[in-house]
Structure 1
Amino acid sequence: MKKSYYLFLLALTTLLACETDFDVNATWKETAVIYGLLDQTVDTQRIIIYKAFLGQESAYTMAQEADSFHYAEGDLEVFLYGLDNNGDTVQKIELEYQITNNRFSTGFDTIFSTEYSVEYFTAESLNQSLTYHLYVRNVVSNYVARSTTNLIEPLEINPGFTDEITFFKNNEYRIHRLRWSSSTFGKIYKPFMRFYYYEKNILTNEVVRKYIDLSFPQMYSQSISGNQNMELAITGENFFYFIKNSINENLNVLRINAKDLEDGFVGYDYWSGGIDFYFLVGGEAISQYIEINNLPSIIFQDPPTYTNIENGLGVFSSRLNAESIGKFLDIQTLTELANGEITSELNFIEP
């Protein structure tokens, strides 16, 4: 065990990203497929690990045998090592095994290569200042796979001069510009706009809060050095048609755009918020994976053509969640929402 550990520490200084093609029916060789995005803004880190189909039989035939696809509990030891700028290990985390039926999702516009049912997780907090090294070892065969990633630094979102948002003014649609500075170690950015609204059923007087999300195309910074000015322009026409196409007409409900109601339904002075912005930020490795592998694939197709896993397949990178919340529409935009040509049939109340 000590020998493997020292070999691991030596290998940490020589990790390289690589791009490799594989023959799925080559002579059998143990190869782990690893997907993981470390995110210090969430409570739990999850890493997916399973076996690649690298053997003499077809992938379909091998998939019928559970032990040809999933590692059994106890087969692997999975560690995260947090190293400081001097290369010293200051944090060691052993990940736990659990079975799940979900699909691994990056949150970005890409499709990972497989469904899965086994993941390794930890609820231990991560340290922003450390570089994290992943170490995976099969205790039966002594097979080892490794990778490394930095954590993305916090995203600086420009708050603007006011929380008020204008999409319509003086009988014209207006553009709202969402601005931010790129994060160190961040490469890919995906913004979302969340629109909150309340519905009151006029037959039952039941009031329900709902929301819809508008997802924007992902954007890339020029580098991972940070401090690049970035901007998303959201047009008024896009905003109003998004509302129209996302909410069904219903003569039995009245609606208002608000995130919270302090007192009552109809008093505009008590409407609070109504618009939040959210971001997903991805590291350089997941950005490269998306650019190269952004085509649909399924469990029995070829393994991914890009990997930054040493002696394995997949991607190990970082992700960050960020938000700018508490925004609200100005009165002219709310009036257009209630009475305008695009959304007048949705029964939003005029302030």
Structure 2
Amino acid sequence: MRLHTFALRCLTILGFGAFALSGCSTDLDPNADYKETMVIYSLLNPGEKIHYVKVNKAFLNTKSNAVTIAASNLDSTTFRPEDLTVRLERLGKDSTVLNTYTLERYVSKGKDAGSFFSDSTILYRTLPNQPGQLDENSIYRVVAHSTRSGLSASAATSLVKSNELCIFRVSMKNTIGRDCFDTLDTYVEYEPHKTNNAIAFNTPSNGYIYSTRIDFPYTETTNGVSQQKTITWYPLNNELKSPSSLGENEIRIRIENNSFYNTLANQINTQNDNGTTKRTTDGKVIITVTAGSQLLALNYRANTSYSIYSQTRPEFSNVRNGAGLVSSRAQKVVYATLTTDALKQLKNDTRLKFQ
């Protein structure tokens, strides 16, 4: 693990949910000739069946600026398919390799518009059931190798214990008992119109940074044209909390009365509404809790704890012979449903036009 100081941050590499990860060229001589530097980003989630890795090049070339190079030459930031192999390794306690899984190249569509060459994102992913869900008690290492230059870079991480992350309350309706609601087939009642609402969950023994997201999908129809939309907000975002040996393994987030309806009113764009506009919902509310590892917490601290008077920012990396971050997170999801009274209040709110 290293803390670098970078003169500037020129290339956004990858973002996963609440945790945004960014990277740039390493602390090399800016007047040196072009040198290939491998940048690796991955967030391993033990509960997922397919795992993704992002591998890019960082480059330095004083004869042209970074945006011009990247826009005119895709190979300056990405590896050609025949030039790169990526694998995931499961390690034993003595760092011996127990299993090796070769990753396939995958092009993810829908990249945001910008200055860079491609309208898609090149990732590497594991094959189905190879390995599938990860062993939470193992160490995993990502290894990337350039067959063209011979350069190899790697990074290893332990996994956040997903089985210890438990959402046991999402509103006033569920205040008795501490059964986990975070299974995909579990629906609980959601009452945002009542006072003393809270979201509460047990934290993993190796979780260090937390976010809670609420998604509310709905249908908006104007002039007979319907669109599926979602309002998203974070009651808790990038909260740092070290594991406690005193049994304090709970986070409780107080939700202000009617903040659900006020958030919808603030985020729903009504500028194009007319007399035909209506909004409908099946009442589904999705609550997602994310727990990040110590490496993620260190990365977050490094990117937020620097002086505004400084022209440099420390950059955290755990990649050997390269730059970037390979870490872990765990996520649990609860599918809640607005109660009859909650839906009634939603439809009675004239700001929102729900029917």
Q: Which amino acid aligns with 2:259?
A: N
1:79 shift after superposition: 1.7
1:323 shift after superposition: 0.7
Paired residue for 1:214? Answer: 233
Kept in 1, the 8 Å contact 2:3–2:315? The answer is no
Paired residue for 2:103? Answer: 95
Give 1:176's match in structure 2, choosing from 178, 182, 197.
Answer: 197
| CA gap 1:200/1:27 in 2 versus in 1, 3 angstroms | closer
Aligned equivalents of 2:320, 2:291: Cα separation in 1: 24
Q: CA RMSD in A?
A: 3.8
1:91 shift after superposition: 1.8
Aligned equivalents of 1:321, 1:143: Cα separation in 2: 34
Aligned equivalents of 1:303, 1:57: Cα separation in 2: 25
1:279 shift after superposition: 2.3
Paired residue for 1:167? Answer: 192
Q: Which amino acid aligns with 1:167?
A: P
Residue 73, structure 1, aligned to residue 77, structure 2: no
Aligned equivalents of 1:34, 1:344: Cα separation in 2: 49
- What secondary structure does 1:223 align onto? coil
Residue 83, structure 1, aligned to residue 91, structure 2: yes
Kept in 1, the 8 Å contact 2:190–2:337? The answer is yes
Residue 122, structure 1, aligned to residue 107, structure 2: no
1:197 shift after superposition: 4.8
Paired residue for 1:133? Answer: 141
Between structures 1 and 2, the one with greater strand share: 2
* Worse overlay, 319-328 or 52-61: 52-61
Task: State the TM-score, normalizing by the size of structure 1.
Answer: 0.70
Aligned equivalents of 1:191, 1:48: Cα separation in 2: 25
Aligned equivalents of 2:282, 2:232: Cα separation in 1: 14
Q: Which has the larger radius of gyration?
A: 1
Aligned residues: 297
1:308 shift after superposition: 1.6
1:157 shift after superposition: 0.8
Kept in 1, the 8 Å contact 2:40–2:326? The answer is yes
| CA gap 1:87/1:207 in 2 versus in 1, 3 angstroms | same
| CA gap 1:344/1:24 in 2 versus in 1, 3 angstroms | farther
1:34 shift after superposition: 1.3
Give 1:194's match in structure 2, choosing from 215, 228, 248.
Answer: 215
1:256 shift after superposition: 5.8
Aligned equivalents of 1:328, 1:231: Cα separation in 2: 21
Give 1:150's match in structure 2, choosing from 141, 144, 158.
Answer: 158
Q: Which amino acid aligns with 2:334?
A: S
Cα offsets for 1:296-350 (capped at 9, x unmatched): xxxxxx998322211211111112231122343362x4443333xxx2343445x
Query: Where do 1:243-254 residues align within 5 Å?
Result: 243-247=264-268, 248=270, 251-252=275-276
* Worse overlay, 17-26 or 117-126: 17-26
Aligned equivalents of 1:142, 1:89: Cα separation in 2: 21
Aligned equivalents of 2:278, 2:69: Cα separation in 1: 57
1:131 shift after superposition: 0.8
| CA gap 1:86/1:250 in 2 versus in 1, 3 angstroms | farther
Cα offsets for 1:178-224 (capped at 9, x unmatched): 011222333222212223556799x98x9987643333341424225
Paired residue for 1:268? Answer: none
Aligned equivalents of 2:69, 2:203: Cα separation in 1: 44
Q: Which amino acid aligns with 2:77?
A: F
**Structure 1 residues not aligned, in runs of 5+:** 1-15, 105-112, 260-273, 296-301
| CA gap 1:26/1:257 in 2 versus in 1, 3 angstroms | same
Query: Where do 1:32-111 residues align within 5 Å?
Result: 32-55=38-61, 57-60=63-66, 62-63=69-70, 64-100=72-108, 103=111
**Structure 2 residues not aligned, in runs of 5+:** 7-26, 177-187, 306-311
Paired residue for 1:232? Answer: 253
Aligned equivalents of 2:103, 2:274: Cα separation in 1: 49
Kept in 2, the 8 Å contact 1:164–1:330? The answer is no
Aligned equivalents of 2:347, 2:74: Cα separation in 1: 57
Give 2:301's match in structure 1, choosing from 291, 304, 309.
Answer: 291
Q: Which amino acid aligns with 1:166?
A: E
1:32 shift after superposition: 0.7
Aligned equivalents of 1:306, 1:318: Cα separation in 2: 15
Kept in 2, the 8 Å contact 1:192–1:215? The answer is yes
Q: Which amino acid aligns with 1:306?
A: F
Kept in 2, the 8 Å contact 1:250–1:346? The answer is no
| CA gap 1:255/1:74 in 2 versus in 1, 3 angstroms | closer
